[in-house]
C-alpha cells in the first residue's frame, strides 16, 4: 500500500502529515522555499511509493504542484468542495495541523483519481487564456471610467461611431476630448489631423466625413467641464490605457492561436461551424486535453452544465445547471452557440437544427437559455467524439434527425 503524504497548503507554507497504513509516521511544517521543498523531498524519498495529496488553493498550491511535476511524483490535486463533503463530521476542529491529518484520513477511505499534469502546450494556453481574461476585465473597468469622464466633456462623440470601442474611436476621442479643440480647427486642418494622428489609415474622403461630423457635434455640444479641466486629462489618460490594452489583447490572441495550432486537436475545433480560431484556442486553453475524460458527462460536470436536482418528499426545486465547473469555458460555449445560430444560413450544422427543434417542441417549447444549454451539451459530446476519433466535423457526421430523437 502506498504511503500518503497529505499537505494542508496555505500562503507560503504547508503542514505535512505522513501516513503509512493508517499510522502517522511524521508531521512537520515547511515553507515554500528551496530549503523547505528539500525537506519535503527527503520525506518523499523515505516513504514507500508515496502519493502526495493537497487541496487546490489557486496560486498558493502552484509551488507544490510544480514540485510534484518537476520530480515526477504521483499526486492528487483535490477539489476543496469534494474533499469537504467526504470529510465532514459532527465535531468540527479547525487547525492547519488537523486539516493535514483530515486530508490523509479522508483519502484513505475514499477513492480519488490522481491528477494528470497538463502538457507544456496546454499549460501555456491556459495561462495565456487567463491573462487574456484579466486584460478583458481591466479593459471593461477602464471603459466605464472613460464613459464617466467623457459624459462631462464631450458626450456627443459617442454618436460618431457604430463601434464605440474601436482603436479609431479611441484615437479620435484622445485627440478631441472637448468640443473646443474641434472648433479651433478648419475643416481641412481637422481632416489632416485625423489622417495623421490615428492608427487606422483613412482616405481623404473618409477624413472629410469624420471632420464634418465632428464639427457638427462640436457646434451643438454643451459640456459640463471646460477644456482645461481635470476631466479632459482623465479622458485622454483612459483612452491611452484602452488603446494599449487593446494592442496587448490582440498580441495575446495571436500567441494563443499560434500555440493552439501546434496541437492536432485545433483542426477539429475550427472544423466545427461557428467556432473560429480565437474561440477554438480559448476552448482548448480552458478544457485542456478533453480526451482525458471518459465520457461526455464528466466533461459536462467540468464545464458546470450538469443538472442539479433537489427533491424531498412532496417538495422540490426546478432543475437547473450546477455552475460548479469552469465559468470561462461555459461562457465561451454559450457565445459559440450564439455564433452558430447567427451564421446558420452561411454555415448550417446539426446544433442549430437541434436548437430550433427544442424551441418549437410541442406541447412545451423550451425557453431560449434552456435550449442554449442543451445545445452546449450536444456540442461538447460532438467535440469529444471528434477528438477521440480524430475526425473533423461534417454536417452528415451526426444526422440532425437522430439527434432530435435523442
- Shared domain for 301 and 353, answered yes or no, is yes
Q: How many Cα atoms sit within 13 Å of 306 on the Cβ side?
A: 13
CB atoms within 10 A of CB 310: 10
67 and 187, same domain (yes or no)? no
Closest CA to 227 of 165, 178, 185: 178
Q: Distance between CA 105 and CA 17 in Å, rounded?
A: 10
**385 and 284 within one domain:** yes
Please indicate, yes or no, if residue 115 is contained in any of the structural domains. Answer: no
Q: Is residue 118 part of a domain?
A: no
Instruction: Judge if 144 and 101 occupy the same domain.
Output: no
pLDDT (tens, 9 = 90+) of the chain, 406 residues, equals: 789 999 999 999 999 999 988 889 999 999 999 999 999 999 999 999 999 999 998 899 999 999 999 999 999 999 888 888 777 664 455 666 788 998 998 888 778 889 988 899 999 999 999 999 999 999 999 999 999 999 999 999 888 877 767 888 898 899 999 999 999 899 999 999 888 877 667 888 888 988 999 999 999 899 999 999 999 999 999 999 999 999 999 999 999 999 999 999 999 999 988 899 999 999 999 999 999 898 999 999 899 887 765 555 655 556 667 777 889 999 999 999 999 999 888 777 889 989 999 998 878 888 899 899 999 999 999 999 999 999 998 876 445 455 445 5
Tens digit of each residue's pLDDT (9 = 90 or more) over 239-266:
999 999 999 999 999 999 999 999 999 9
Strand, helix or coil for residue 79:
coil
Task: Count structural domains, the chain.
Answer: 3
Q: Which three cell numbers stand for residue 138?
A: 481591466
CA nearest 7: which of 81, 70, 59, 57?
Answer: 57
Domain that residue 69 falls in: 4-109
Q: How far apart are alpha carbons 260 and 245 in whole angstroms? A: 22
Q: What is each CA distance from 318 to 307, 310, 341, in whole angstroms?
A: 10, 8, 27
pLDDT per position as a tens digit, 203-225: 888 889 889 999 999 998 999 99
Angle at 248 between CA 246 and CA 254, to 5 degrees: 105
Examine the fold and report which residue of 109, 135, 150 is the final residue of a domain before the chain moves on: 109
In a domain, 117, yes or no: no
What percent of the chain is modeled with pLDDT above 70? Answer: 91
Query: Measured between alpha carbons, how far is 234 from 259 in angstroms, rounded to an integer?
Result: 37
114 belongs to a structural domain: no
Query: What nine digits make up the cell of 252?
Result: 495575446
Instruction: Write down the pTM of the prediction.
Output: 0.84
Amino acid at each position: 500500500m502506498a504511503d500518503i503524504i497529505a499537505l494542508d497548503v496555505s500562503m507560503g507554507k504547508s503542514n505535512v502529515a505522513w501516513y503509512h497504513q493508517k499510522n502517522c509516521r511524521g508531521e512537520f511544517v515547511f515553507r515554500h522555499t528551496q530549503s523547505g521543498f528539500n525537506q519535503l523531498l527527503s520525506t518523499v524519498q523515505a516513504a514507500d511509493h508515496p502519493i502526495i495529496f493537497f487541496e487546490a488553493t489557486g496560486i498558493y498550491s502552484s509551488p507544490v504542484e510544480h514540485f510534484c511535476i518537476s520530480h515526477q511524483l504521483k499526486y492528487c490535486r483535490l477539489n476543496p468542495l469534494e474533499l469537504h463533503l467526504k470529510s465532514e463530521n459532527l465535531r468540527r476542529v479547525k487547525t492547519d495541523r488537523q486539516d493535514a491529518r483530515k486530508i490523509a484520513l479522508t483519502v484513505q477511505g475514499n477513492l480519488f483519481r490522481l491528477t494528470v499534469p497538463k502538457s507544456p502546450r496546454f499549460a501555456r494556453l491556459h495561462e495565456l487564456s487567463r491573462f487574456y481574461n484579466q486584460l478583458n476585465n481591466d479593459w471593461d473597468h477602464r471603459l466605464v471610467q472613460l464613459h464617466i469622464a467623457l459624459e462631462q466633456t464631450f458626450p456627443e462623440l459617442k454618436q460618431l461611431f457604430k463601434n464605440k470601442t474601436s482603436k479609431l474611436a479611441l484615437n479620435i476621442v484622445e485627440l478631441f476630448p472637448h468640443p473646443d479643440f474641434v472648433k479651433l480647427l478648419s475643416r481641412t486642418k481637422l481632416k489632416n489631423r485625423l489622417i495623421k494622428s490615428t492608427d487606422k489609415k483613412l482616405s481623404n474622403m473618409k477624413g472629410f466625413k469624420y471632420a464634418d461630423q465632428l464639427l457638427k457635434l462640436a457646434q451643438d455640444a454643451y459640456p459640463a467641464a471646460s477644456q482645461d479641466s481635470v476631466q479632459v486629462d482623465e479622458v485622454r489618460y483612459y483612452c491611452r490605457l484602452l488603446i494599449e490594452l487593446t494592442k496587448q489583447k490582440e498580441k495575446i490572441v495571436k500567441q494563443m492561436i499560434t500555440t493552439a495550432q501546434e496541437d492536432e486537436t485545433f483542426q477539429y475545433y475550427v472544423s466545427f461551424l461557428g467556432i473560429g480560431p480565437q474561440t477554438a484556442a480559448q476552448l482548448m486553453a480552458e478544457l485542456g486535453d478533453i480526451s482525458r475524460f471518459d465520457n461526455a458527462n464528466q466533461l459536462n460536470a467540468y464545464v458546470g452544465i450538469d443538472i442539479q436536482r433537489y427533491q424531498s418528499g412532496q417538495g422540490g426545486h426546478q432543475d437547473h445547471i450546477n455552475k460548479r465547473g469552469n465559468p470561462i469555458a461555459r461562457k465561451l460555449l454559450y457565445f459559440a452557440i450564439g455564433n452558430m445560430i447567427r451564421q446558420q444560413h452561411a454555415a448550417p450544422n446539426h446544433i442549430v437544427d437541434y436548437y430550433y427543434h427544442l424551441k418549437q417542441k410541442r406541447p412545451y417549447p423550451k425557453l431560449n437559455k434552456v435550449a442554449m444549454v442543451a445545445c452546449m451539451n450536444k456540442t461538447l459530446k460532438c467535440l469529444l467524439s471528434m477528438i477521440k476519433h480524430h475526425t473533423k466535423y461534417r454536417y452528415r457526421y451526426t444526422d440532425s434527425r437522430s439527434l432530435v430523437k435523442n
